[in-house]
Amino acid sequence: MQNTAHPSRLVLIGSAASQAMSPGLWNPVLGRLGTGWTYEAWDVPPDGDLVSVRDRLLEPGIIAANVTMPHKHWAADAADNATEEVLLSGACNLLLRSGSTLFGHNTDIMAARSLLGGEFQRNALLMGAGGAARAVLIALKGKVGTVTISDRDPRAMEELLGLAKELGMAARSVDWDEARGLASEASLLVNATPLGKSVSDGPVWGDGPLAPDAVVYDFVYAGHVTATIARARRLGARCIDGWDHLYGQAVAMVPLLGMDEQAGELLGESLVRVRSGA
């Protein structure tokens, strides 16, 4: 017999989804709102059967899926329709289900745009050239003077440089050591690498100075303050950390899911609890 259950399930798809913070962030909020919804994790390895995963997303109980590494590019391809941000980035981290179709969104870009506040950046330094850096780059469209890109993977670096030029940006790529030396010139410095996950990691740009007007955006979230954020604070920079980004992503989902505006405040409270236990 066909399952006609009312949609009530949000899911997270990723190779280590069960280790992510999202279920712990969302489930208390869903409970307090009385939605009857649940948020669950689906661990899908890099070589997993993604055709079957897409089929599962079309089961009657599914509302939407967040998608994390390494499946954001798959999600962009799996979407029947998508936002301009998804089409530009080639990455999707939210699939909304409507009947037998999936609509792709990129809340990384939405969060970055909100957190950066629309301010013009005279010089952005992107350290790392993966999905996080791509999200910031797209969020900066029309709001940046020059962009400098660096990554230890030359191919990823050149791909992001190509996107920057497609977006009409004045951009260049430099090697890692040169990038660290350019931190003092950047009005926006982005750590789009895993550096900082370990307490033994130093600041992504090393121990050099920062520009007087610097904003430091560190995508890493951990149970400790990362060295990048700690040093940036000591130098007086405005800081956006990985927890801010996680919250920004979640808040961006609220209107897309048709949830009560109160959800934003509850997500903030839930994030404090999750962070204290990280």
pLDDT digits (tens, 9 = 90+) for 100-155: 999 999 999 999 999 999 899 999 999 999 888 999 999 999 999 999 999 999 99
Q: What is the pLDDT of residue 5?
A: 57
Which own/partner pairs from 216-219 qualify as long-range (CB within 8 Å, at least 24 positions apart)? 216/189, 216/190, 216/191, 216/240, 217/112, 217/115, 217/116, 217/136, 217/188, 217/189, 217/190, 217/191, 217/245, 218/190, 218/191, 218/242, 219/128, 219/132, 219/190, 219/191, 219/192, 219/245
Active-site entry in 72, 141, 143, 197: 72
User: What does the pLDDT read at residue 221?
Assistant: 87
The pLDDT value recorded for residue 130 is 86
Using the predicted structure, report yes or no on whether residue 2 has a pLDDT greater than 80.
no
Domain map (residue ranges) of the chain: 9-105+247-276, 110-240
Given a cut of 50, whether residue 4 has pLDDT beyond it is: no
pLDDT number for residue 3: 43
Domains 9-105+247-276 and 110-240 share a fold: yes
pTM score over 0.75: yes
For residues 22 and 54, give the distance between their C-alpha atoms in angstroms, rounded to a whole number. 20
CATH superfamily, with its number, for domain 9-105+247-276: Leucine Dehydrogenase, chain A, domain 1 (3.40.50.10860)
Beta strands across the sheet bearing 144-150: 170-173, 144-150, 121-127, 188-191, 215-218, 238-240
pLDDT at 278: 61
Banded model confidence at residue 215, pLDDT cuts 50, 70, 90? very high
Could you confirm whether domain 110-240 is CATH 3.40.50.720?
yes
Q: Is the pLDDT of residue 206 over 90?
A: yes
For residue 93, the model assigns a pLDDT of 93
| pLDDT value at residue 95 | 98
Alpha-carbon distances, residue 29 vs 42, 95, 269 (angstroms): 20, 20, 9
pLDDT at site 1: 33
Q: Is-contact 139 112, C-beta < 8 A?
A: yes
**What average pLDDT does range 144-171 have in this prediction?**
95
User: How high is the pLDDT of residue 261?
Assistant: 86
Total number of residues shown for the chain: 278
- What gap in Å lies between CA 128 and CA 230, rounded to an integer? 19
Residues 63-95 pLDDT 10s: 999 998 889 999 999 999 999 999 988 889 999
72 is catalytic: yes
pLDDT of residue 69: 86
Give the pLDDT score at 147: 98
